Chains A and B, each alone.
Chain A
Amino acid sequence: MKVSMFHLMPYRDLPDDFEQRYHSVWVDPPWTELGDAEKVGQYYNWTLDELIHAAKAGVDGVCVNEHHQNAYGFMPNPNLMGSVLARATNGMDVAVVQMGSTLPTTNPPTRVAEEYGMLDTISGGRLVAGMPLGTAMDATLCAGITPIEQRERYYEAHDLILKAWTADEIFAWNGKYYQLPKVNVWPRPIQQPYPPVWIPGLGSLSTWEFAAQHNHCYCFLSYYGPKAGKNVMDGFWQFISERGVEPNPYRAGFLQLVAVAETDAKAEALYEKHIQYFYNKSLHIPPEYFFPPGHQDYRSLENNIRKGIFKSYFDKLDAIPNWKFKDFVDEGFVIAGSPATVRDLLTDAVTDLRIGNLMVLLHIGSMPHDLTLKNIDMFTSEVMPHIHDMWDNQWENHWWPEKLRTKRQASIAAL
C-alpha cells in the first residue's frame, strides 16, 4: 500500500453565513469581499509545512492539485507548490504526486511536459505525473474552454505530452487544438520512458477506458467515501477483468477524508465543525457549474440521466447541511474516530474497493494548523503502519516511481 497525504489548500476562514450570502464557493466568490492576501500567504506556508511534516512522519507521497477562482482549494499552479515540496523532500523516499496540472487549460500542453520534467529532475526521479481533465468550473468557466471540446482537448494534450517525453526526434505537432512547429522539451524527466501517470476521475466510463487503454493508474477522487465509491470501483474492476488486464490494486487510487484523535468522542469534539465547514462551505457549488451542457459526452449524459445518477447525487447533497459528525461517519464520507476505529474502517474500505494507492485528506476545511499536525501525527503513527503492508506480498506498484517502490523505512528515523 502506498499512502499519500493530499492537500487542497482551502480558504480556512470563510464567514459563518458564507453559503447563505454567496452564490458559489467556486468561480464567483468575490475576492474583494472575502479574500485576505496576508492570510492566504499564511495558508500557503501552512499547507507546505503540513505536507512536509507528513513526509517526515512517514507518508509515501505528498499530493497537490490545480483549481482556480475559488475558496475551496486554490493552487492555480500546483507545480509552484510541487517545486517547493520536491526540494524540501530531497533525501526522503517520498513521491511528489502532482494531481496535477489540468491538461486542457495549460497552453501549450508542452508546458506540463516541461514543468513535470523540472519536478522530476529536481526530485531525482520521484514524480507521479497526474493528468486531470479538470472540473467544468476550472476549464469552461474560469478558462473559457468550450464544454463540448474539453475532453477532446484533454486527449490531444495527453498524447502530445507523452510524445514530447518519448520521441527520438524533434517533431512537428499538427493537432486540432495545438499546432507546434518544433517540439523539443527541455528538460525531459529522469524516469523512463516517463513518470507514472495517474488519471483522476469521477466515475465516468470514458475515463476508465482511457486509463486502462494507456495503462495509467485510475484515481477515483470523491468526497463521498467508500460506500458511494463502491459502485464506481466495482464497475472499474469489472471493466478491467473484461479487458483481461491483471487486477493489480495499484491500478487504482482513491481519496478519503480521515480524522484521527485519541477517542471517538474526542474526534467528534475536535473535527465536527471543520467537517461541516468543508461540506457546507468548501463544496457550496451550484449544479449548473458542475455540468454545463457538453461537459459530458452524449453517451455519459444519456447514461447519467437514464440511471438518475445526477438526481440521486444532488438529492443527497441537499440533506448535508443538517448532518452531524455521526452522519458523516455513518455515511462513510469521513473516516474519523479513535485510531482503532479509523484502522478498521479504512482497512475495510481499501480492501473492499481494492485500492493500492490511497490518498488521505488530513487537512479538512477550516482545520487550523496545529490540529492538522496532530491529525497527521496520529494517522501516521497509529493508523498507517496497520495498512502499509497490504497488497505488497502479491503485487508490484508499477504506478509508483521505480526508486521508491520498496517499503519506506521506519518513519520515525526521519523525524
Chain B
Amino acid sequence: MVAVQEQTVSVWKNQINPTVQVAGSGPAVVFLHGAYGLTWDPFLDALAEQFTVYAPEHPGTTLGDPDGVKALDDLWDLVLYYDELFAQLGLDNPTVIGHSFGGMIASEIAACYPQRVGKLVLLSPIGLWRDDVPVKNWMILPMEEVVKAAFYDPSGPLAQQMLTMPEDEKEAQDVQIRVTWSLACTGKFIWPIPDKGLKKRIHRITAPTLIVWGAEDKLVPPAYAEEFGSRIAGSQVALVEQAAHVPQLEQLGRVSGLVRDFIQS
C-alpha cells in the first residue's frame, strides 16, 4: 500500500471543490473514475509504484460538495472544467487514464485539447453508440443486474464486494447516498444515451492511445473496442480474457502491466 494524500482544490470560480487523491512518485498520471464514484483500489496502488497518480473526483461526487455539479450545464462545461483543473494541479501533458464514464471524459479532453494529454489509456470507455449493441443503462438497473453484466465472475469477491453493505447502519447509508449521487452527477452528462457527439470529435485525438476491454463485458460490449480503435489513429486495442467491465481489477496483474509498459514505452 502506498500513502495516499487527499488534496481539496477549488476550481471554476471556487464553485467546484473536488477532492483529488494523490500518491506515488514519477511521471504524472491522471485517473478519471467511472459512474459509481472514486475508490482508491489495487490498480491505483500498482500505478503509484512507478508514477505520481492524481485521481480527482468528478464534480458533485465529493462528499460535502454535492452542489458542485450545478455549476456545470453540460459536457462542454465539463471539458473546460478539466482544463482548469489540470492547470491548477500543474499537469502539462500527463498520461490520462479513464474508466467507463471517465474514459468518455478522458476521450473528450484529449479530442478538445490534444496538447493537454501526453498519452491516453481507455478502460472500457463509454461515449459511442451502436443500435445493434446498446450500452446498458446502469442508472435504471438493480445493483444485482449491474454486477452480473459488469463482472466476469459475478459470484467472486470483487463482484460481491459491490453488493455488500457495511454492517453499521450509518455507514451503509453513507455508501448508498454516495453511490446514488455519483450516478446522478455523472448521469447529468450522459443521460439518456451516452452518445454526446464524441464520434464527431474523436479523430482529433493525437495522443498515443491504449484501449483495454474485458472480453466478457456485458455492460459496454467489446464491440466498442473496435469502434474506438478504428477512430483513434495509431491506437492499440487489448482485449482481456476472463474480464468484463472492470478489467483493471478483474485481471489486475495483466492490465496494470499493460498500462505500465504502454506509459513507459
Contact = CB atoms under 8 A, between A and B. Distances in A.
Nearest to B183: A293
B173 A294 contact: no
B152 to A, nearest CB: 24
Contacts of A294: 183-185, 187-188
Given A288-B141, A293-B139, A293-B181, A144 B192 contact: yes
Interface stretch (A96-104, A113-121, A239-247, A301-309): A301-309
Contact of A146 (B173, B180, B181, B188): B188
Contact of B191 (A146, A289, A301, A302): A146
Interface in A96-150: 140-141, 144, 146-149
Interface residues of B, number: 21
A306 B184 CA distance: 18
B177 interface: yes
Contacts of A176: 73
Nearest to A136: B140
A298 interface: yes
A298 B66 CA distance: 7
A244 B177 CA distance: 33
A292 interface: yes
Contacts of B73: 176
A288 B142 CA distance: 6
B69 interface: yes
A286 interface: yes
Given A148-B69, A176-B73, A298-B67, A306 B173 contact: yes
A293 B185 CA distance: 8
B176 interface: yes
Given A140-B191, A298-B67, A305-B176, A147 B184 contact: yes
Name the prevailing secondary structure of the B interface residues: helix
Interface string B60-83: 000000110100010000000000
B177 A301 contact: yes
Given A288-B141, A298-B67, A293 B173 contact: no
A148 B185 contact: yes
A147 B188 CA distance: 7
A312 to B, nearest CB: 14
Given A141-B140, A305-B173, A305-B176, A293 B184 contact: yes
A305 B174 CA distance: 9
With most chain B CB atoms within 10 A of its CB, the pick from A176, A287, A294, A306 is A294
A301 B176 CA distance: 10
B140 A289 contact: yes
Ranked 6 nearest A-B pairs via Cβ: A294-B184, A293-B183, A293-B184, A298-B66, A146-B191, A144-B192
Given A147-B187, A301-B184, A305-B177, 12 more contacts: A148-B184, A287-B142, A288-B140, A288-B142, A289-B140, A292-B140, A293-B182, A294-B187, A298-B66, A298-B181, A305-B173, A305-B176
22 contacts: A141-B140, A144-B192, A146-B187, A147-B139, A147-B187, A148-B184, A148-B187, A176-B73, A286-B142, A288-B140, A292-B139, A293-B180, A293-B182, A293-B183, A294-B185, A294-B187, A298-B67, A298-B181, A301-B180, A305-B173, A305-B180, A306-B173
